[in-house]
Structure 1
Amino acid sequence: MTKNSQRIHFIAIGGSIMHSLAICLAKAGHHVSGSDDHFHEPSKSKLKESGLLPENEGWDASKINSDLDFVILGMHAKANNPELLKAQELGLKVLSFPEYIYEASKNKKRLVIAGSHGKTSMTAMVMHVLQDVERDFDYMVGARINGFDEQVKLSDAPIIVIEGDEYLTSPLDPRPKFFHYKHDIVTVSGIAWDHYNVFPTIENYISQFELLADSSAKGSTLIYCQEDDLATKVIGGKERPGVTAIPYKAHDHVVKNGVTYLKLPNDEIKIEIFGYHNMQNLSGAQALLKQIGVTDEQFYKAIATFSGAGKRMEILGKNEASTIYTDFAHAPSKLLATTSAVKHQFPNRFLVACLELHTFSSLNKDFIEQYKNTFNDPDEAIIFINPEAVKQKGLEVLTEEDLRTAFNRKDIILFNDSAKLNEHLMQHNWTNKNLILMSSGNFGGLNLQALKQHIL
């Protein structure tokens, strides 16, 4: 341990972002321990490689003692977690993930990127540009980004880029994570109802973003997408003394032979990403970066080489006749943006889109009607539901007729068995066809690499 090192224990260390913070702090010289009741990849392998993977799965109150400086509590843990109860009994300091990020960055300029959709992609764009212009910065992002080893970096850098999630902070704090970061600049990409299990009404969900904007300190900046009605109403439609509001819209662009070009006053620039929503994200990133001195010339040079964030229209594989994409797209607005982007980019290719309904919201009969007309662009629309996921969430199984009514599409195909889904996809002739696989799960264990080899 180094001179200023601390003893830190992570409750739910295996989380998708928690493990990255644990690795970051261990590399900085802190003594890090942790527990979790189950470990998934890639966090399991990364923790093992860093010497942080616990010997056994499960919670162990004996790991909590008065020698700890503090505990970091993950959202996955419950309020009655034995390690949390022991920490509270000992009077130890307990911080949620966002609370710790703020504590580590309160002397930095905090750039927060929020919104119901697009925040990971926009955060990745900002990080990519800052790296290209050789600006020193810290970051916290919810996905794997090309050119960055981890999802969290904390150092002596003067600024930090933070993906601001609206989901709950911890089992002890039901507020959205983004409240804790106390932004200097915040960008809101758009507002579309999500997380039905936490925000049971759309009004409740929208109010979180209004509270975020209202929490802006004097001298701070709000940046919002003016093409999003709710973002415009909530962020731009209210005067906040001492706070600057800056709107943005999709960057002018043109698609030629499956390639997108940004249109400039006297030039066109070829870029690797595509889709109208990504053109909005790009403009949002540019508007934010302008606030910290990145010029348009620097921005365009850097953004030309940006290839996207992990599982955000990520190319799994391609040949001259087909491209396979993977994407989270687990909410209605994300589904619509992803499918329309691919269809617009390749209008002459048949599009097969497969969506796994995996989240509590998407599997809920009371929410599913929010998907109306969001799955119209694909030529073939497939939905996969893992019965085990429905059972674990205590929900009623949706039928094919339920889905066809909710999505307002009569030819939706439903699969509940990954083997049958795989067989169906294998039977396709993939000449001049694209495939999108959209899920925050894993399609019941579908072997994507084998599927890719067959298609390509």
Structure 2
Amino acid sequence: MKIHFIAIGGSAMHNLALALAQKGYTITGSDDAIFEPSLSRLKKQGIAPDQLGWFPSKITADLDAVILGMHAHSDNPELRRAKELNLKIYSYPEFLYEQSKNKTRVVIAGSHGKTTITSMILHVLNYHHVDVDFMVGAQLEGFDTMVKLTDHNEFMVLEGDEYLSSPIDLRSKFLLYQPNIALISGIAWDHINVFSTFETYKQQFISFVSSVSQGGALIYNEEDKEVVDVVEQSNNYIKKFPYHTPGYAIRDEKVYLQTSEGELQLSLFGRHNLLNLEGARLVCNQIGIQNEEFYEAIISFKGASQRLEKIYETKDYIVYKDFAHAPSKVLATVKAVKENFSHKRLVACLELHTYSSLNPEFLKQYKYSLEEADEAIVFYSEEALKIKRMEPISEELIKNSFKKSGLKVFSDSISLEKYLKEIDKTNSVFLMMSSGNYGGINLNSIFK
């Protein structure tokens, strides 16, 4: 097959391009900006665009398909040309469904935890040499790409995102997968720029449960009342398996999981991660992995990239980096670190970077999310607000929203970097939470 990618440089898009090139497809693509490591990986495979920009001449009648990324706009010149030629245009999730429609599809959904749960499942399957196709939103240890597609594997494991499919397909991505086995980890309002009310956001999950194949399985977090409500509303003829946080103990900053196989020391920590682990176990059961096999494999799971990822450690301090940005994720991550390192001073630094987190109305959702930090810092870039064409926000608004005593607010990356360099780091754990890069701050210069 000959396939062209419009906006090939995105994290998900370039991984799909690599997977299809490895499958033997002829791949071309365009983008107006491609950053590392995407650019180097595309070059290594020989499919990086020769120059940046959009070129309608690349859209030819002999293309079998065009895959449209969210980074492109609906008036993209290559997209217009593809429409003129009546070419088949797929969104990213639509194409993944086409590649997996004859397989057993496992879809992991939820406002938080879906990347970690998907990563846990893939780690366990890889440990036991169970070969599956997959798509996951983070780079995993032991895996070359975030997407794998074959013609022979029985299962496809997909991280199910509720965000829009493409600029011309405004359905949530996970509604296109039609899972045989599904999981919902939690529901907490996100993507306010697309889902303007919580009810609209929650409706996506109601529709997702309806999309599970009849006779299929739904695994769900029974500790989340919104998830329970969605599941109880469903009349879909499916098997339902609830899960909750398992028993565990913390000794000397190590987590011990209590199981029917005895107590197991884990390489990860955090109550939310143990909850994720239970969901992953039930999914693996559905795939054919027994509990003892699951536990044998999961003890070596260290986490997905940028999900409570330890980046530095000295005799005085430890630094963790986390992708947390939504209020529920921030709250869970801060609690996890404080619980595990109860005898250390916790310095939590959050960057407000997304459309939702920079919205004055949505900021109220962060109330008390940093409460358990001994010192809390919030950073936002005034330049990011200008790029997103959003109104300025004040330090006072942020402090009133978080309700955290002593909260420090920075909008200048140089001042933040100087503060973090000079802060007393003795017996401390630093939690750096962001889906951005703190305005280009070099964490090496601060902590290494």
User: Structure 2 length normalisation: TM-score?
Assistant: 0.98
What is the distance in 2 between the residues matched to 1:366 and 1:342?
A: 28
Match of 2:163 in 1: 167
1:313 to partner: Cα distance? 0.4
Task: Describe the shift of the 1:172–1:63 C-alpha distance in structure 2 as closer, same or farther (beyond 3 A).
Answer: same
**Equivalent pair of 1:316/1:452 in contact (CA under 8 Å):** no
Q: Deviations over 1:158-217 (max 9, x none)?
A: 101100000000011111000111100110000000000000000000011011111222
Give the match's secondary structure for 2:89.
Answer: strand
What is the distance in 2 between the residues matched to 1:292 and 1:307?
A: 22
Shifted more, 314-323 versus 422-431: the winner is 314-323
Matches within 5 A, 1:146-185: 146-155=141-150, 156-185=152-181
1:429 to partner: Cα distance? 2.0
Task: Describe the shift of the 1:66–1:425 C-alpha distance in structure 2 as closer, same or farther (beyond 3 A).
Answer: same
Match of 2:366 in 1: 371
Match of 2:188 in 1: 192
Give the match's secondary structure for 2:287.
Answer: coil
Give the match's secondary structure for 1:272.
Answer: coil
Q: Which runs of 5+ in 1 are unaligned?
A: 1-5
Matches within 5 A, 1:123-142: 123-142=118-137
Q: Deviations over 1:366-394 (max 9, x none)?
A: 21111111111111111111111110111
What is the distance in 2 between the residues matched to 1:374 and 1:408?
A: 9
> Match for 1:114 among 98, 109, 112?
109
Matches within 5 A, 1:23-422: 23-155=18-150, 156-235=152-231, 237-265=232-260, 267-422=262-417
What is the distance in 2 between the residues matched to 1:441 and 1:51?
A: 28
Q: Which runs of 5+ in 2 are unaligned?
A: none
What is the distance in 2 between the residues matched to 1:162 and 1:109?
A: 11
Q: Does 1:9 align with 2:29?
A: no
1:220 to partner: Cα distance? 0.8
Matched AA of 1:411: G
What is the distance in 1 between the residues matched to 2:64 and 2:262?
A: 56
Task: Describe the shift of the 1:330–1:239 C-alpha distance in structure 2 as closer, same or farther (beyond 3 A).
Answer: closer
Q: Deviations over 1:78-137 (max 9, x none)?
A: 110000000000000000100110000111110000000000000000000001111110
What is the distance in 2 between the residues matched to 1:396 and 1:419?
A: 22
> Match for 1:434 among 415, 429, 435?
429
What is the distance in 2 between the residues matched to 1:240 and 1:120?
A: 28
Give the match's secondary structure for 1:261.
Answer: strand
What is the distance in 2 between the residues matched to 1:114 and 1:438?
A: 22
What is the distance in 2 between the residues matched to 1:33 and 1:400?
A: 46
1:321 to partner: Cα distance? 2.9
**Equivalent pair of 2:209/2:236 in contact (CA under 8 Å):** no
Matched AA of 1:428: I
**Equivalent pair of 2:261/2:292 in contact (CA under 8 Å):** no
What is the distance in 1 between the residues matched to 2:283 and 2:148?
A: 20
1:417 to partner: Cα distance? 1.5
What is the distance in 1 between the residues matched to 2:40 and 2:371?
A: 39
Q: Deviations over 1:52-90 (max 9, x none)?
A: 211211111111110111100001111100000000000
Give the match's secondary structure for 2:300.
Answer: coil
Shifted more, 238-247 versus 346-355: the winner is 238-247
Matched AA of 1:243: I
User: Structure 1 length normalisation: TM-score?
Assistant: 0.97
What is the distance in 1 between the residues matched to 2:122 and 2:444?
A: 29
Overall identity of the aligned pairs, in %: 48
Matched AA of 2:76: N
Matched AA of 1:450: S
**How many residues align structurally?**
447
What is the distance in 2 between the residues matched to 1:202 and 1:65?
A: 43
Q: Deviations over 1:300-335 (max 9, x none)?
A: 000000000000001111123321111111100000
What is the distance in 2 between the residues matched to 1:104 and 1:76?
A: 22
Give the match's secondary structure for 1:315.
Answer: strand
Moved beyond 3 Å, runs of 4+:
none
1:265 to partner: Cα distance? 3.8
Aligned-pair Cα RMSD in Å = 1.0
